[in-house]
Structure 1
Amino acid sequence: MKNLYIFLAAVIIVACTSCKNETNNDPATADPEKTIVEKIAAANGLENFDNVQELKYTFNVKVNDSLRTSRAWTWEPKTNRVTLTTKDSTVAYDHKTEAANHEWVDQRFINDQYWLLFPFHLVWDKMEWKHEEKAIAPISGEEMQSMTITYPSDIGYTPGDVYEVFFDDNFMIQEWIYRSGGNPENAFPATWEDYKDFGGIKIATRHTSKDGSFVLFFDGIEVVRE
């Protein structure tokens, strides 16, 4: 992903219609002027992120049923305060002003937070995107909409990353392919599944590789509002 140290990213697309004489309250489709990326972010609850004071979550990776990584994060979006807690240490810093002094931690914060909130980064970040109305998802083999996201070659910890995301008719990402640095030989497909709703913010809490040997999952998610 852009600004991401080790892993991947994705996107979604969806369409909804309202009955005649009824009001459409779906944030993803109520405004026909929204772009595809704006609709995806809205479907995942971007409007509910504005009053988030603190976000806690634990990023976990299993490979062949062995837990390889577990990092607990506390992020305060309004103050940019980030705290990483592992079994060995706790590190706190200001993501905006002190990232350079904590690069090892900040790289992992960006990576883990991208897996958590990638749909929001579609409107937060600078990137190019191309939408396809019909595409075959790499793991399920189902026909979905897709979008190819390309990050700039001169920005972030891993510049030039490319994500091909596959989403359903509710603008929710179901699968994606991550290409580190845009290299087709580095393609890594994974699922987006086990969505849970945290006060209107929808998060895919599990990502699995095609052969099931790689599982990335979140637990301990807490959203503290003002």
Structure 2
Amino acid sequence: MTRLLTFLLVITVLISCKPESKAQNHTTETISEEQIEITVAEKIAQAHGYDHWNNVNTIEFTFNVDRGDNHFQRSWEWQPKADYVVSMVSKDSISMYTRQTPSNTIETIDPKFINVDKSFINDKFWLLIPFQMVWDDGTTLSESIKAVAPIAKTEMNKITLTYSNEGGYTPGDAYDIFYDEDFIIREWVFRKGNSETPTMTTTFENYEDFNGIKIAKDHKMADGNFNLYFSNIKIQ
């Protein structure tokens, strides 16, 4: 029982970020047939297939965590255009709800779905962090610098995403994102409440292309005793 409680606490720590309120659509404008200069966040999003996002009608995925001998999973179906979510933790625990509201804030989510929504926001954040960087309001992005990635121990590009201290399920969190010269994310450091000490550091690996959208299916810690991964992914 103690091991189970510890494992569930780890899952709780994983919950991060806030519901996005920017329109999840992307357009590219031109001036005199020259492309407008885009931000580093937009370059990262595009490198992961953001130009295909408007074609997405449904995303299905299972969020898994293996820590030692313990396994946890939950499955989702999301229709982003309607913001309709189906959650299935087990065959006896299924929830269906619509996230979209006029103000699209936590306060307007039906209270009976708050815990489910927290889990959905967390799992979707891990799945689509390259897109969340341009979707989410209330964030700041640092200048990109060169830095040594903590797991690979090689020099990469680094940008820090920081959330506002107000709003969201876990306000004030920060993420140090390490990406390569092709703007593909390779590692990140999660710092709860923007603390100086890392809360969790994982890889982004085992990328696979799903109808043009690149997903990192595995996120591992340096000690090899932890793997957060995605299975049963379908993007249509």
- Fold match by TM threshold 0.5: yes
Mapping of residues 1-226 of structure 1, within 5 Å = 6-7=13-14, 31=35, 33-67=37-71, 69-87=72-90, 88-97=92-101, 99-101=109-111, 102-126=113-137, 127-224=139-236
TM-score (norm 2): 0.80
Report the 3-state secondary structure (helix = DSSP H, G, I; strand = E; otherwise coil) of the residue aligned with 1:39.
helix
1:17 is matched with none
Deviations 1:2-41 (A, max 9, x none): xx963278xxxxxxxxxxxxxxxxxxxx946011001000
Q: Which is further off, 80-89 or 52-61?
A: 80-89
Q: 1:203 offset after TM fit, Å?
A: 0.4
Q: Is the 8 A contact 1:5 1:111 kept in 2?
A: no
Q: Which is further off, 125-134 or 164-173?
A: 125-134
Structure 2, gaps ≥5 residues long: 1-10, 17-33, 102-107
1:25 is matched with none
Structure having greater relative contact order (Cα 8 Å, sep ≥ 6): 1
Rounded Cα–Cα distance in structure 2 between residues aligned with 1:132 and 1:165: 10
Give the total of aligned pairs: 200
Rounded Cα–Cα distance in structure 1 between residues aligned with 2:37 and 2:134: 15
Q: Is the 8 A contact 2:148 2:154 kept in 1?
A: yes
Report the 3-state secondary structure (helix = DSSP H, G, I; strand = E; otherwise coil) of the residue aligned with 1:50.
helix
Q: 1:184 offset after TM fit, Å?
A: 2.2
Distance of aligned partners of 1:216 and 1:146 in 2 relative to their CA distance in 1, 3 Å threshold: same
Structure 1, gaps ≥5 residues long: 10-29
Q: 1:96 offset after TM fit, Å?
A: 2.3
Distance of aligned partners of 1:165 and 1:193 in 2 relative to their CA distance in 1, 3 Å threshold: same
Rounded Cα–Cα distance in structure 2 between residues aligned with 1:210 and 1:62: 14
Given residue 42 of structure 1, which amino acid in structure 2 is its aligned partner? Q
Given residue 99 of structure 1, which amino acid in structure 2 is its aligned partner? I
Deviations 1:154-205 (A, max 9, x none): 0210000100010001100000100111122353110000000001000000
Given residue 73 of structure 1, which amino acid in structure 2 is its aligned partner? W
Given residue 105 of structure 1, which amino acid in structure 2 is its aligned partner? V
Rounded Cα–Cα distance in structure 2 between residues aligned with 1:178 and 1:100: 29
Rounded Cα–Cα distance in structure 1 between residues aligned with 2:215 and 2:118: 21
Given residue 222 of structure 1, which amino acid in structure 2 is its aligned partner? K
Q: Tell me how large the CA RMSD over aligned residues is.
A: 1.9
Percent identity between matched residues is: 41
TM-score (norm 1): 0.84
Rounded Cα–Cα distance in structure 1 between residues aligned with 2:62 and 2:128: 13
Given residue 216 of structure 1, which amino acid in structure 2 is its aligned partner? L
Q: 1:140 offset after TM fit, Å?
A: 0.8
